[in-house]
Amino acid sequence: MLSILIPVYNYNITSLIKTLHEQCTAAGITYEILCFDDASDKQFKVQNKAVSKLDHVTYRELPQNLGRARIRNELGRAAKYNHLLFLDCDSMVVSEDFIRNYKDNLDDRSLLCGGTVYQPEPPAREFYFRWFYGKHREQIPASERRKNPHHSFMTNNFVVPKNIFLNFLFDENLKQYGHEDTLFGLQLKQAGIPILHIDNPLEHTGLEPTDVFLHKTRLAVENLLYLSKKHELIDTRLLRAYKKIMQLKLEAPLTLVFRIAKKQLVRNFHSTRISLRLFDFYKLGVMIEAGQKQKK
């Protein structure tokens, strides 16, 4: 028995829900699909209401925006079956056996992560950076993700037993974008709960323009720094680099270099000759700036 849970925000989900509905029916499973709209613009609500006409599909419009963490918790609490499949709304099913693959691997004591892929051909220049980053940093086969299973956890496509989820809800203090999955994965690691990675990806279709992606990156870095001060278990490569700089008292010179280089870095991200090492430095500079602001 499977509850498919989809937080919806400013995206047309009709094709995704239709495909999931067809695959669940073909797989012969007991299921429900819950779609909670997190205060989207009117045009998307008009488009998405149609999915409520399908059997076993519930579409609900929330009166106010809850945010990424809280809406997932609300979906999990509302689900009636014992396995919860969380999917991002800006996704496309790329395998005819997507639901069946999860059905065949369900486990009452572990999470399952299916992974992410991106379209093979480059998109328009406006979306190139987000696609390039996703292809090189997020499109990771299960064989690689298994080497560090809890750090490789992402919320866009995973199954969790409901009893486990209700004991490890997402931190609702996180009001802005980013790293709720990092905390969730590491809390599971601390509790000794396995995460099993399989090759059962969704395609991430909701590519943002470069400037939007950079803004969301800043929000995510700020969230990561906030989480690191609240939870000692938080550990990422970016945080380790930041802490090393603080120990060596290199904060001031690196801040100066970052401010001088920032415009050139952003120009690189708008090009088609992107350096992800420069993007790593950019995120480090953003974290140093965020740390300085939090001291004030």
Tens digit of pLDDT for each residue in 25-77? Answer: 999 999 999 999 999 999 999 999 999 999 999 999 999 988 888 899 999 99
Q: What is the pLDDT of residue 170?
A: 85
Domain extents for the chain?
2-207, 211-295
Q: What is the pLDDT of residue 231?
A: 72
CATH number for the domain running over 2-207: 3.90.550.10
* Average pLDDT of span 232-248: 86
Q: Is the pLDDT of residue 183 over 70?
A: yes
Q: Does the pTM exceed 0.85?
A: yes
The values of phi and psi at residue 83, to 5°, are -125, 130
Tens digit of pLDDT for each residue in 146-166? Answer: 999 998 888 899 999 999 999
